[in-house]
Amino acid sequence: MLEVAPVHVNRNACLIGRTWHPLDSGGKVNERISDECMPGLVREADGGDHIATVLFISSLVGGLIAHITWPRDHTPSGPRLRPEEDYILDPHWDFNAKPSTREYHWTIAEHELNPDGVYRDMILINGMFPGPLIECNEGDEIVVHVSNRGSNATSIHWHGLFQNGTNWMDGTVGVTQCPIAPGRDFTYRFNVSRQTGTYWYHSHMSMQASDGVVGPIVIHSRKEEELQKIPYAEDRVVLVSDHYYDLSSDLMMDYLAPDRENDEPVPPAAVINGRQQRDCATVPNRRCDSSNRKRALFDLASHHNTRLRFINVGAFAEFQIQIDEHEFYVSEVDGTDVMPQAIHRLNINPAQRYSIIVVPPKSNKGLYWLRARMVTHCFAYEEPELQEEVWGVVRYWGSDDAPTPSSKDWPEVIELECKDLNTSLLSPVIPQRAPAHVDDQIYLRSTFQIKDWALSRGYLNDSSHHVSAANPVLNRLYEPSTKPSSFADSLSTAPPVGINTALSDPKTDGLVYQTTGIRTLDILVQNFDDGNHPFHLHGHTFWVLATGHGYPPPPADLYSPGHLDLENPLRRDTASVEAYGWTLIRFVADNPGVWAFHCHIGWHAEAGLAMQFLARADVILVLCLCLGWGFM
């Protein structure tokens, strides 16, 4: 049994520290958040990886933290693609630097841009696509000032970050915050602690991520060179994404219309690091100019290894990625360093991250194609504008300036099924045994159902997820109408787990599964749909224990001694459930807050394929809550 370090808090200090004023002259609600209400982290008594929450006085540590403000990367000449060198990590980065506050200023606004030649309306950060890289060390504080100058509300979610003690900074509209209204500002402030690796951020307002609000996050470990078992001299981020030519809001209206039967919009193109060169003759009905567009170029040294951090920031498509005539080594999965495993094709679903180590081939041709293929088997219909592959160029230093690579594709048949990379051989470098005892087992039936008005919606069991942007679930815990004192009192008599119907009606709003104390949960998701579903859990990582096609084994067989490998299974935050298949994951609900669990195919999440976990409900009430619509 785990012994958790005790939580000592002054609830009144949190609540008194929040001061409300009526309205200023501009009609904006003012709110002062007390510096005393900044959550911190402590280890458990056993030194394990589970989390307890305390409060600390920020002024006590303020003198120990350096402050770094990144310059605004505004582009007065108009919107443009982000320079490729922006995603090359600093080769002189100090992994052992003292904790720093890294501050950014972002303006989100609408622009017109042609990433592959075809012009389309986009939503961009500081006028560039994709968004800026956030590079930091474990223990740093991140401060991002967001100014929404667009015509619609927005938010930023920090995908994969625990947000321990700062649940309200998770950026999930309708769950942890109201969106940032047009013309208003909001500051995200949080620490990155007890996790390292490759992550990303994106808007969590409708499908805005598909319109351009995406970017990478890299958190360095002080032991990074030890955790990565194959040395490398260069480190880069590679974003792959499906690419639509229409705004997501227009596509969404059609997707959610009656009689659509979950026919997801098929992307006509794909991009690598936001760029590609489209032959405009193939899209005669689009305004297109690709004369100044080039494929993504990766200049690599021919005498040392390179780490490429792949992130699928797309809305729908799974990718198969390869570098012609290269084997490479998987060394990280969703922030978990793994023992290197050689492969030559990488399958990556939306929201997943994989680091690979590229070793220069002995017979170096100089130029090679980097191919990223969308797995079209899961597309619902034939898209006449579809260009299913996007190609980049790997060029080794000293190679001839040939016009194009002459490298060859791998000869074997390309896999058509939409499912995760086989990760059964990937072992985390830092071993962690999955808990043998499970407190609760949750069975989720994932379906799309056609109900009233011929509307197709996503369901987990009998609930379709529909949140209120103006009344997030986390806020409801603190509203006078919900009587938080009564809610807190009820925890002493309520069972430690169960569906919370006071915060969310399962019939109309979706499931909110509540836990008190620290509990280990198993989630078995069974997919009755003909497409795969990459499920993401906010605020936690989980162990992937088993996957399969068809029906899962009976519980007596599934949980029979020795059937599940608990010794050191892969830990990640996004795992797919294949079509007509199932996946079993296990996690420890130890991070206080309200956390979304949803399919990361954007269309499916908007159709309702999601739920929430209210973890450690007995602790969340003592955390400070940042309320309001578009405050700074």
pLDDT (tens digit per residue) in 194-241: 999 999 999 999 999 999 999 999 999 999 999 999 999 999 999 999
500 and 568 assigned to the same domain: yes
357 and 255 assigned to the same domain: yes
The residue among 487 and 520 whose pLDDT is bigger is 520
Among the candidates 195, 224, 253, a domain finishes at: 224
157 and 306 assigned to the same domain: no
pLDDT given at position 402: 66
127 and 49 assigned to the same domain: yes
Q: Is 210 helix (H, G, I), strand (E, B) or coil?
A: helix
Q: Which stretch, 255-269, 274-288, 401-415, has highest mean pLDDT?
A: 274-288
171 and 127 assigned to the same domain: yes
Task: From 88, 99, 188, select the one nearest 138 (Cα to Cα).
Answer: 99
**Dist CA 419 CA 579 (whole Å):** 8
Q: How crowded is residue 522: how many other Cβ atoms within 10 Å of its Cβ?
A: 22
Residue 308 covered by a domain:
yes
pLDDT given at position 66: 62
Residues in contact with 278: Cβ distance below 8 Å, sequence separation at least 6, in sequence order: 116, 117, 118, 269, 288, 290, 293, 387
59 and 185 assigned to the same domain: yes
146 and 28 assigned to the same domain: yes
pLDDT given at position 495: 64
The residue among 261 and 340 whose pLDDT is bigger is 340
Residue 508 covered by a domain:
yes
Structure tokens at 610: 């999601």
pLDDT digits (tens, 9 = 90+) for 356-378: 999 999 888 899 999 999 999 98
pLDDT digits (tens, 9 = 90+) for 505-527: 898 899 999 999 999 999 999 99
Q: Which stretch, 68-72, 379-383, 499-503, has highest mean pLDDT?
A: 379-383
Mean pLDDT value of segment 391-409: 85
**Dist CA 575 CA 585 (whole Å):** 9
Given pLDDT bands bounded at 50, 70 and 90, which one contains residue 498?
A: confident
C-beta of residue 392 within 8 angstroms of C-beta of residue 297: yes
pLDDT digits (tens, 9 = 90+) for 66-97: 667 655 555 446 899 999 999 999 999 999 99
Q: For the chain, give the mean pLDDT.
A: 86
C-beta of residue 108 within 8 angstroms of C-beta of residue 91: no
pLDDT given at position 388: 96
363 and 478 assigned to the same domain: no
pLDDT digits (tens, 9 = 90+) for 109-154: 999 999 999 999 999 999 999 999 999 999 999 999 999 999 999 9
Domain extent, residue 497, equals 440-620
pLDDT given at position 500: 85
455: phi then psi, degrees, rounded to nearest 5: -90, 130
β-pair type (128-129, 80-81): parallel
Q: How many domains does the chain have?
A: 3
Element (H, E) at 143: strand 141-148
pTM, 2 dp:
0.88
256 and 191 assigned to the same domain: no
67 and 166 assigned to the same domain: yes
246 and 187 assigned to the same domain: no
Task: From 404, 310, 390, 322, select the one nearest 352 (Cα to Cα).
Answer: 310
Q: What is the DSSP letter of 150?
A: S
Residue 131 covered by a domain:
yes
Mean pLDDT value of segment 326-354: 98
pLDDT given at position 618: 84
pLDDT given at position 170: 98
**Dist CA 536 CA 350 (whole Å):** 10
Distances (CA, A) of 542 to 350, 545, 585: 17, 9, 6
Least confident window among 29-38, 232-241, 572-581, 594-603:
29-38
C-beta of residue 102 within 8 angstroms of C-beta of residue 141: yes
Check which CATH number belongs to the domain holding 34 and give it: 2.60.40.420
pLDDT at 29 over 60: no
Among the candidates 224, 258, 282, a domain finishes at: 224
pLDDT given at position 501: 83
378 and 462 assigned to the same domain: no
Residue 629 covered by a domain:
no
pLDDT given at position 54: 33
Mean pLDDT value of segment 566-587: 98
**Dist CA 170 CA 161 (whole Å):** 8
Residue 420 covered by a domain:
no
Percent of the chain exceeding pLDDT 90 equals 73
Residue 209 covered by a domain:
yes
pLDDT at 625 over 60: no
Residue 407 covered by a domain:
no
Among the candidates 189, 224, 259, a domain finishes at: 224
The residue among 302 and 52 whose pLDDT is bigger is 302
Mean pLDDT value of segment 592-618: 96
Mean pLDDT value of segment 616-622: 83
Residue 145 covered by a domain:
yes
pLDDT at 494 over 80: no
